[in-house]
Structures are given as C-alpha cells and as structure tokens.
Amino acid sequence: MAKKKTKTKKASIKSTKKPVTRPASLDQPLRDHLLYLLKGGGAHASFDDAMGDWPVQLAGAKVANFPHTAWMLLEHMRLAQWDILEFSRNAKHVSPAWPGGYWPAAEAPPDGKAWRASMAAFKKDLQTMERLVADRKVDLYARIPWGDGQTILREALLVADHNAYHLGQLVMLRKSIGI
C-alpha cells in the first residue's frame, strides 16, 4: 500500500537571531593573558631579562656552532615585530622581502648608538602591540580587512611566539659568551 502524500504548510518563521557580540568583559581575561605573554610572563623570558645589560662590545660576538650574534637576533626580532605590528594596523604597509629584509647585513652594530636605538625601537613597538591588544575597541577576533584571514589575536600570538623563540636563543647565547 502506497503512503498517501500529505501537504504540510511550512510555517514562516522570522529569524530573531542577532549577530553574536562578545561583551568586552568576556575578552578581558584573554587580553590579560596576551599582555602577560607579550611582556615575557610565565615560562617566557622578558626582553629586559635577556637583553637589558648586554654589553655593546659583545653584541657582535660569535659563538662556535651558533649562526647568529646578539645584534643579528635583536635586529631580526625588531624587524619582524615591526612588520607584524604595521601589518596589523596599516592597510598600506608593505612587508620587507623574505628573508633578506628581516636580517641585518652585518654581524655587529655599527656603534653603541645603533645598538641602543634598535633596543628602544623594539621596546616601543612591543608597547604599541600591547596597547593594541589592551584596547577594548579592538575586536581581537575580527579579520584584518587587508589580510587573508589574520586577526589581531593571531598577530599578537605571533609576536609573542616569535619573540619568545629568539629571546630563548639570546639567553643561550648570553650563557655561552659568559655574560
């Protein structure tokens, strides 16, 4: 016996769904954690702990079986962090060529002034990234319009990860040099 087809009227249901919004208070623990990471919290070394009293005379010191000097690592960190920060906030930013644009040409700074300027620029850009993360008006999850899927959350984590990796190298270099 064949089933009888019945017509059912589909009720027209109006959507009452609103776009999902996250109260700023829910984001605050994440923002606090990101700031903690960026500042070298937890198992991470802070910039000042790794670099604070590094003698400029040893900024270009080479250690056997280690490819980078403190100057090379500092400049690489500064350039990469600056690039990530500028990409995060400036639609017209053009990244340096990879990989040459992210490493200094020389193994040592030209002088103490360049060494101090690089450290100051690194700190300034890190503080700017921290302010970006701390700004409750910034949606950490929103796609950066000029990117291809990146978010401020992703970029802040990238800065924290990249800095942690190279600060770890600097700590080991410091120990190998004996400072």
pLDDT digits (tens, 9 = 90+) for 64-84: 999 999 999 999 999 999 999
Structure tokens at 179: 């400072």
Judge whether residue 2 has pLDDT over 80: no
Q: What is the pLDDT of residue 42?
A: 86
Can you tell me the mean pLDDT for 88-112?
97
Q: What is the pLDDT of residue 11?
A: 44
Within 8 A by CB and 6+ apart from 163, the residues are 38, 40, 47, 77, 81, 126
CA atoms within 13 A on the CB side of 69: 20
pTM (whole model) above 0.95: no
Q: Is 40 left (phi over 0), alpha (psi -120 to 50) or beta?
A: left
**How far separated are the first and last CA of the chain, in Å rounded?**
91
Domains defined for the chain, CATH in brackets: 26-177 (1.20.120.450)
Can you tell me the mean pLDDT for 6-20?
46
82 and 125 Cβ atoms separated by less than 8 Å: yes
Q: Which of 49, 147, 42, 169 is nearest to 95 (CA)?
A: 147
Cα–Cα distance, 43 to 45 (Å, whole number): 7
Cα–Cα distance, 37 to 170 (Å, whole number): 17
Find tokens 């700023």 and name the residue.
Answer: 24
User: Residue 148: phi, psi to the nearest 5?
Assistant: -125, 45
pLDDT digits (tens, 9 = 90+) for 101-138: 999 999 999 999 999 999 999 999 999 999 999 999 99
130 and 111 Cβ atoms separated by less than 8 Å: no
Cα–Cα distance, 128 to 156 (Å, whole number): 11
